Chain A
Amino acid sequence: MPQVALTVNGKKVTVDVEGRTLLVELLREKLGLTGTHVGCDTSQCGACVIHLDGASVKSCTMLALQAAGRSVTTIEGLAKSDGTLHPMQEMFREHHALQCGFCTPGMVMSAIDLVQSHPEGLSEQQIRHGLEGNLCRCTGYHNIVKAIAAAWPLMHGKTMPAAAE
């Protein structure tokens, strides 16, 4: 059985996998990182989004072997070691941007990438467009959009440029 070596949440791991094993299966079943969820089988729902070298990726859409030598961050790797939540996690809680919690890990990972990749600011329309790859059946997205807008200034350390609002 082939082996894959990668970094997950800052820790180097080496795991035996089948050639057909998906990255999300590696995370959930081999490493016990069950925070990353599987909500569909057609790469539509985004419940499995993780960061691969800092960029959001649907972990059901790549093979575990393709992650060789790369660095993966999952929802479990976001909070500080003392338990302090990432500002995006904190804003999701503050703005009631989650209900059943199932889409939440993927939603948070996508949202962080969205904010990081828009240092110029984000309008509501841009946030909604940026979340197209993540399905939520509970919240109607309203509070998720609010949470992301509220996380932007915390992540960038300044107020959102007026033009973006």
Chain B
Amino acid sequence: MAFEGIGASVRRTEDQRFLSGRGNYTDDINRPGQLYAIIRRSDRPHARIVSIDTKAAAEMPGVVAVYTGTDLQADNVGGLPCGWLIKNKDGTPMAEPPHPVLAVGKVRHVGDPLAVVIAETRQQAKDAAEKLAIEWQDLPSISSTQDAIAPGAALVHDDVEGNVCYDWHLGDKEAVDAAFAKAARVVRLDLTNSRLIPNAMEPRAAIGDFDRATGEHTLFTTSQNPHVIRLLMGAFVLHIPESHLRVVAPDVGGGFGSKIYHYAEEAIVTWAAGKLGRPVKWTAERTESFISDAHGRDHVTTAEMAIDKDGNYLALRVKTLANMGAYLSTFATSIPTYLYATLLAGVYKTPAIYAEVKAVFTNTVPVDAYRGAGRPEAAYLLERLTDVIAHDTGLDRVALRRQNLIPANAFPYQTPVALQYDSGNYQATLESALKAADWNGFPARRAAAAAKGKLRGIGISTYIEACGIAPSAVAGALGARAGLYEAANIRVHPTGSVSVFTGSHSHGQGHETTFAQLVADQLGIPFNQVEIVHGDTEKIPFGMGTYGSRSLAVGGSAMVKAMDKIIAKGKRIAAHLMEASVADIEFKNGSFSVAGTDKSKSFGEIALTAYVPHNYPIDELEPGLEENAFYDPKNFTFPAGCMVAEVEIDRDTGVPSVVSFVAVDDVGRLINPMIVEGQVHGGVAQGIGQALLESATYDVSGQIVTGSFMDYTMPRSDNLPSFKTGNEVTLCTHNPLGVKGCGELGTIGSPPAIVNAVIDALSEYDVRHIDMPLSPQKIWSIVAAGPKRKAAE
């Protein structure tokens, strides 16, 4: 049998069902007697609800119920909670306006839900929803981030002054001011980080079910973290005890962050099922996803780097305006603060950093974590700024990076923005990527492209991220309202096969394979005798779910901890059976042996003895072989790496094509290299999407212009190249596996590499910066205007 342990590219267990059409996604589930819910949403960006007349809708064929926000309010349904409290510079808490499940009094963005129609069939509910008569009073609206803080701006929430959610800062302002005062030069860059729509291919869906006989509620939902949903919805919204609320997140078709949050529809179907005593199903149409799934990014930033005469970084000053949208989504507030500003050292030894972040409300869909979440914004800022420094000073952009990198012998490295990096080797990933991309051979490729009439450019980015979220005490001190450990239960069956119950959730990451490899390797049992169970609060221990590239680093570590307990108990059983001292028992390759003898017992024999305890130390040891563990990480993990992109631009159309892409990453130990490579590919594709194609755009009236796949440019197969990937390995020092996480690095490292490449391709036009997405229109306008003489420095 082929090796299937740690380090093997084992083909995925879950593929059999996905490839044969036997996946079990939420919308594939139908419950007996099921009703269908259609949500009526606001088509106004900002308006008072004068009245909602439900009579005509309620009389339509098949309609069972119509509910509005006042019905939910009357039944004591709470608002959707925010999971992270940020404090202002002066120590006061952020503004936290109510987020009703169905709008009451006012709607605040296109897509804001305001009524639900429930009928026997989906079509009947849809027809009836059209009959709701709503009288509006339109209000002035805010559709762009900057407009939120303009003097006299309309207020999204009447009692949130100036639309400011919080005004927060991090770092040493005085040290930064002092460094700026003595700097040889200051380089400034204004940039935006564009607003994105995650667009997992499976639209969100939810089914509420209620058993009147037992009083148990069940919610099937497209979630990355069923326990978090159960906690938030049970405790804050519907007031249902955990004992009577089961949340199931079955197969989930992609998340990328957008399925972390507790959404209104989950509460609506659970509540309505309880009222009606029948299951209620809601499935988003894609158009609905565009206006109800949390969006990502949306920063407006000014960054300034103080440098000495040789280009050494002395201090960084950053001022960011972050768009929260109309309401606070579950983790929205933590993204532009603790997942962004804390990353502003990047891979560089910049000694002083000061960041100010103002989060604002606008009449747009709420913004929250999207793959990378805060870290792409930090990496983009640093890597664009570094290229702009090279542009303004004439220094070489690779040399500039080399001289400012944190040296490989400086770990653990304390940054000036709170984080302590445990391990890394940024020189190794940089040099390896340059080599794989044949950086030195680029001039010849540029000349060849020029001969074909194309503009060719090469770009680089050296990035870092903080993953393995998160040490609970640290997160708590920073305002998190939840613990961020992970849980695992390992159940060894009598014949030695194993079921693993994990709080991590797989929605494309291949946990059923990677986790099984990990467990099979550590227990020395065959891969196909390990079953991974996840996604159902009735089966798994209380776990925090999957986001922030945490599943292996935190969830996997919980499994190791549980397995350690299994092995420790197994040793005591083995010592009894072989009449040896526990201290003399060794466990290796699936067998317990007495040191220095040929006596041994297999893992299966020990398991059987635990369940058939005829010859057993029953006075000192319980029968059975099953252990729980909760693992709380000691620190974040810090994957890092280097990406190099090459683009060619068609002068006539301005269309950029990515012709080569290299990513060399350090994600710590690899459990399944094939899956890691797949994660890199997918992340890079999304990053290229942000750099060149995607943008959530609102017009001045507050309507979303990119509300379907016909308008929002998703990367398609012919927009992308094949990718070249590689790894350098430094182990994480504080988790038992030495793993760092790989889910998000692609979206973090790739946008600046692409933008830097396009700007390099336009070097004869002396372009300093272009905001994403680098559309053909933007590029063409530059080319059409003709080459510029380089401005006098």
Contact call B287/A137, Cβ cutoff below 8 A: no
Listed residue (A40, A128, A129, A143) with the most chain B CB atoms within 10 angstroms of its CB: A40
- Proximity bits, A84-116, B CB within 8 Å = 1, else 0: 010001001110101111111100100000000
Nearest to B252 among chain A residues (CB) is: A100
Among B197-226, those with CB < 8 Å from A are 199-203
Known: A100-B201, A100-B508, A140-B685. A42 touches B709 (CB 8 A): yes
Known: A99-B682, A140-B723. A42 touches B710 (CB 8 A): yes
Q: Does A132 count as interface, using CB distance less than 8 angstroms? A: yes
Contact call A143/B20, Cβ cutoff below 8 A: no
Nearest to B23 among chain A residues (CB) is: A101
Contact call A137/B714, Cβ cutoff below 8 A: yes
Q: Does A59 count as interface, using CB distance less than 8 angstroms? A: no
Q: Does A123 count as interface, using CB distance less than 8 angstroms? A: no
Contact call A143/B285, Cβ cutoff below 8 A: no
Nearest to A146 among chain B residues (CB) is: B722
- Proximity bits, A1-42, B CB within 8 Å = 1, else 0: 000000000000000001010000000100001111111111
Could you say which residues of chain B place their CB within 8 Å of the CB of A44?
708-710
Could you say which residues of chain B place their CB within 8 Å of the CB of A34?
21, 23, 25, 27-28
Listed residue (B16, B22, B717) with the most chain A CB atoms within 10 angstroms of its CB: B717
Name the distance in Å between A162's Cβ and chain B's nearest Cβ: 19
- Tell which of B256, B286, B510, B683 touches A45, judged by Cβ atoms closer than 8 Å: B286
* Stretch in B7-15, B56-64, B762-770 touching the partner: B7-15
Contact call A98/B714, Cβ cutoff below 8 A: no
Contact call B12/A93, Cβ cutoff below 8 A: yes
Could you say which residues of chain A place their CB within 8 Å of the CB of B443?
none
- Tell which of A45, A96, A129, A136 touches B709, judged by Cβ atoms closer than 8 Å: A45
Q: Does A68 count as interface, using CB distance less than 8 angstroms? A: no
Contact call B509/A99, Cβ cutoff below 8 A: yes
Q: Does B614 count as interface, using CB distance less than 8 angstroms? A: no
Bound form: Cα–Cα A37–B716 in Å = 18
Known: A39-B201, A101-B253. A140 touches B720 (CB 8 A): yes
Q: Does A76 count as interface, using CB distance less than 8 angstroms? A: yes
- Tell which of B203, B675, B681, B709 touches A135, judged by Cβ atoms closer than 8 Å: B709
Contact call A40/B708, Cβ cutoff below 8 A: yes
- Tell which of B14, B200, B709, B722 touches A124, judged by Cβ atoms closer than 8 Å: B722
Could you say which residues of chain B place their CB within 8 Å of the CB of A76?
20-22
Could you say which residues of chain A place their CB within 8 Å of the CB of B620?
none
Among A111-165, those with CB < 8 Å from B are 124-125, 127-129, 131-132, 134-145
- Tell which of B509, B677, B709 touches A40, judged by Cβ atoms closer than 8 Å: B709
Q: Does B93 count as interface, using CB distance less than 8 angstroms? A: no
- Tell which of B11, B12, B285, B685 touches A41, judged by Cβ atoms closer than 8 Å: B285
Contact call B20/A85, Cβ cutoff below 8 A: yes
Could you say which residues of chain B place their CB within 8 Å of the CB of A57?
none
Q: Does A49 count as interface, using CB distance less than 8 angstroms? A: no
Contact call B682/A137, Cβ cutoff below 8 A: yes
Could you say which residues of chain A place their CB within 8 Å of the CB of B75?
none
Contact call A137/B722, Cβ cutoff below 8 A: no
Q: Does B387 count as interface, using CB distance less than 8 angstroms? A: no
Q: Does A47 count as interface, using CB distance less than 8 angstroms? A: yes
Name the distance in Å between B184's Cβ and chain A's nearest Cβ: 42
Q: Does B686 count as interface, using CB distance less than 8 angstroms? A: yes
Among B725-775, those with CB < 8 Å from A are 746
- Tell which of A38, A74, A139 touches B682, judged by Cβ atoms closer than 8 Å: A139
Q: Does A65 count as interface, using CB distance less than 8 angstroms? A: no
Could you say which residues of chain A place their CB within 8 Å of the CB of B675?
96
- Tell which of B25, B254, B681 touches A142, judged by Cβ atoms closer than 8 Å: B681
The range of chain A's interface size is 35 or more
Known: A99-B510, A135-B201. A145 touches B286 (CB 8 A): no
Nearest to B684 among chain A residues (CB) is: A140
Q: Does A78 count as interface, using CB distance less than 8 angstroms? A: yes
Contact call A93/B722, Cβ cutoff below 8 A: no
Could you say which residues of chain B place their CB within 8 Å of the CB of A99?
254, 508-510, 678, 682
Q: Does B495 count as interface, using CB distance less than 8 angstroms? A: no
Contact call B201/A103, Cβ cutoff below 8 A: yes
Bound form: Cα–Cα A33–B470 in Å = 41
Q: Does A75 count as interface, using CB distance less than 8 angstroms? A: yes
- Tell which of A105, A125, A134, A140 touches B21, judged by Cβ atoms closer than 8 Å: A105
- Proximity bits, A57-90, B CB within 8 Å = 1, else 0: 0000000000000000011101100000100010
Could you say which residues of chain B place their CB within 8 Å of the CB of A125?
718
Known: A99-B509, A100-B507. A137 touches B21 (CB 8 A): no
Contact call A139/B286, Cβ cutoff below 8 A: no
Q: Does B18 count as interface, using CB distance less than 8 angstroms? A: yes
Bound form: Cα–Cα A136–B686 in Å = 10
Name the distance in Å between A121's Cβ and chain B's nearest Cβ: 18
Nearest to B9 among chain A residues (CB) is: A96
Known: A37-B25, A45-B201, A132-B716. A138 touches B682 (CB 8 A): yes
Nearest to B674 among chain A residues (CB) is: A96
Q: Does B19 count as interface, using CB distance less than 8 angstroms? A: yes
Name the distance in Å between B199's Cβ and chain A's nearest Cβ: 6
Name the distance in Å between A104's Cβ and chain B's nearest Cβ: 5
Contact call B287/A141, Cβ cutoff below 8 A: no
- Tell which of A36, A74, A131, A142 touches B723, judged by Cβ atoms closer than 8 Å: A142
Q: Does B589 count as interface, using CB distance less than 8 angstroms? A: no
Listed residue (B683, B710, B716) with the most chain A CB atoms within 10 angstroms of its CB: B716
Contact call A104/B18, Cβ cutoff below 8 A: yes
Nearest to B712 among chain A residues (CB) is: A44
Nearest to B203 among chain A residues (CB) is: A39
Known: A20-B123, A140-B684. A33 touches B21 (CB 8 A): yes
Name the distance in Å between A148's Cβ and chain B's nearest Cβ: 10
Contact call B23/A141, Cβ cutoff below 8 A: no
Contact call B251/A101, Cβ cutoff below 8 A: yes
Contact call B20/A75, Cβ cutoff below 8 A: yes
Bound form: Cα–Cα A18–B126 in Å = 15
Could you say which residues of chain B place their CB within 8 Å of the CB of A37?
25, 201-202, 253
Contact call A128/B682, Cβ cutoff below 8 A: no
Could you say which residues of chain B place their CB within 8 Å of the CB of A104?
18-19
Among B299-336, those with CB < 8 Å from A are none
Nearest to A127 among chain B residues (CB) is: B717
Bound form: Cα–Cα A90–B708 in Å = 33
Contact call B681/A40, Cβ cutoff below 8 A: no
Nearest to B20 among chain A residues (CB) is: A79
Contact call A78/B20, Cβ cutoff below 8 A: yes
Contact call A35/B21, Cβ cutoff below 8 A: yes
- Tell which of A28, A42, A137, A143 touches B200, judged by Cβ atoms closer than 8 Å: A137
Listed residue (A102, A108, A132, A144) with the most chain B CB atoms within 10 angstroms of its CB: A102
Contact call B508/A138, Cβ cutoff below 8 A: yes
Could you say which residues of chain A place their CB within 8 Å of the CB of B718?
125, 128-129, 131-132
Bound form: Cα–Cα A71–B533 in Å = 38
Listed residue (B23, B510, B710) with the most chain A CB atoms within 10 angstroms of its CB: B23
- Proximity bits, B490-521, A CB within 8 Å = 1, else 0: 00000000000000000111100000000000
Listed residue (A37, A42, A99) with the most chain B CB atoms within 10 angstroms of its CB: A99
Contact call B508/A93, Cβ cutoff below 8 A: no
Known: A18-B123, A128-B718. A137 touches B686 (CB 8 A): yes
Other contacts beyond A41-B285, A85-B20, A127-B717: 11, CB < 8 A: A92-B15, A93-B11, A99-B678, A101-B19, A103-B253, A105-B21, A135-B709, A138-B682, A140-B723, A144-B717, A145-B717
The 8 nearest A-B residue pairs measured at CB: A35-B21, A102-B253, A101-B18, A140-B685, A100-B508, A44-B709, A75-B21, A99-B508
B→A interface (CB under 8 Å)? 11-12, 14-23, 25, 27-28, 123, 199-203, 251-254, 256, 285-287, 507-510, 674-675, 677-678, 681-686, 708-710, 714-718, 720, 722-723, 746
12 A-B residue contacts at CB 8 Å? A20-B123, A39-B286, A45-B709, A47-B201, A92-B19, A103-B201, A137-B199, A138-B254, A139-B685, A140-B685, A141-B716, A142-B681
